[in-house]
Structure 1
């Protein structure tokens, strides 16, 4: 009987430790933390440090605060007056409003952001004409 009680106690202790560890998360100085509950943003942590969430219900997503660089590969494009150009471009961007960023791009995988930037820059160059 004592052995059974000891096993149950160890199982409860392990569960308590797992629950305690999964309820904490650390936000770095250079990032935002989005606490998401059932696909809805509960809150955005802007300050660095140790924060808490409801374990097994809340999930945390991290996004950078600092300036991001996307260096696009050189590409050939045609302008509106049919002139060929070789374009090498880069984009510097920063998240200024975390809520708007998450609502518009938060569900897009980070690998797709360079493709979006490439399409936008190509559209700008195509509309450009040399007079």
Structure 2
């Protein structure tokens, strides 16, 4: 191989190296900055094919998509001095890569600033509302205010906060135990009240039943006395009528009954023969 050919090959190789070191592509989901000795040169590069000085300049890329940041749960106080453990997240994006690089440089640095700003604003706005309002009625309005205020504060870092949301709201463990204790005490109080009302109702029902029983028995006894009296009156009238029709027969029947009762068993009776009691035995 001649010297000319070798020189040509080396030249082509060096040219390719220079091209590969100079050309770079920024994807659709990215923005980029060219750094020279650690300092940005030029502006923000949009998606497409770009060139830089080889070996002297390097490129850093920034995600242009919406990013998620899931914060660690932290406590905050409401207006009525109730402690809440908030588990929140934020959706954000890089709007100015140059300022972003000059201030926070990396995604972890940006997340640290997000954590500080979002958490501080959550504490500020939650402190203006009661626990009930935070959990139910004013939750959406609070999140909108926190999002707007946090985005305004963090804009100096080239970042925009799109949305801040609370995933879950819990109570601290000591508060949970206290609330469970109050709930248990309230349920026990209600149970005692229900038992007391049940016993009162039971006593009322028993008293009413005893009263009705006494009234029914008294009425039954009265009716029985009336019927018994009517029966005795009828019996007396029948005996009287029978006696008036045949006094001798009545006297005979009564004597037979007296004999039957007197002479039953091993009874001994001493009577004279002319005793009136024995006149029907003669």
- TM bucket normalised to smaller: 0.7 to 0.9
Q: TM-score, normalised by structure 2?
A: 0.39
Equivalent residue for 2:51?
52
Shift of 1:84: 2.2
- Whole-Å separation in 1 of the counterparts to 2:93 and 2:87: 21
- Whole-Å separation in 2 of the counterparts to 1:14 and 1:113: 42
Shift of 1:20: 1.2
**Secondary structure in 2 matching 1:88:** strand
Q: TM-score, normalised by structure 1?
A: 0.75
**Secondary structure in 2 matching 1:89:** strand
Equivalent residue for 2:74?
76
Distance 1:115 1:49, change over 3 A: same
Q: How does 1:7-86 map to 2 (within 5 A)?
A: 10-73=9-72, 75-79=73-77, 83-86=82-85
**Secondary structure in 2 matching 1:66:** coil
Shift of 1:103: 2.0
How many residue pairs end up in the alignment? 127
- Whole-Å separation in 2 of the counterparts to 1:46 and 1:24: 13
Deviation per residue, 1:83-108 (Å, 9 max, x gap) = 321212111112223332222222xx
**Secondary structure in 2 matching 1:94:** strand
- Whole-Å separation in 2 of the counterparts to 1:24 and 1:114: 31
Distance 1:19 1:64, change over 3 A: same
- Name the Cα RMSD after superposition: 2.7
CA contact (8 A) 2:44 2:97 kept: no
Structure 1, gaps ≥5 residues long? none
After superposing the two structures, state which structure 1 stretch, 120-129 or 5-14, moved more.
5-14
After superposing the two structures, state which structure 1 stretch, 7-16 or 43-52, moved more.
7-16
The structure having more radius of gyration, on CA atoms, is: 2
CA contact (8 A) 1:79 1:125 kept: no
- Whole-Å separation in 1 of the counterparts to 2:50 and 2:97: 18
Shift of 1:56: 0.7
Structure 2, gaps ≥5 residues long? 131-282
Distance 1:126 1:88, change over 3 A: same
More helix by share: 2
- Whole-Å separation in 1 of the counterparts to 2:59 and 2:122: 38
Equivalent residue for 1:98?
97
- Whole-Å separation in 1 of the counterparts to 2:21 and 2:103: 28
More strand by share: 1
- Whole-Å separation in 2 of the counterparts to 1:44 and 1:16: 27
Is 2:95 aligned against 1:124?
no
- Whole-Å separation in 2 of the counterparts to 1:78 and 1:45: 39
Is 2:112 aligned against 1:115?
yes
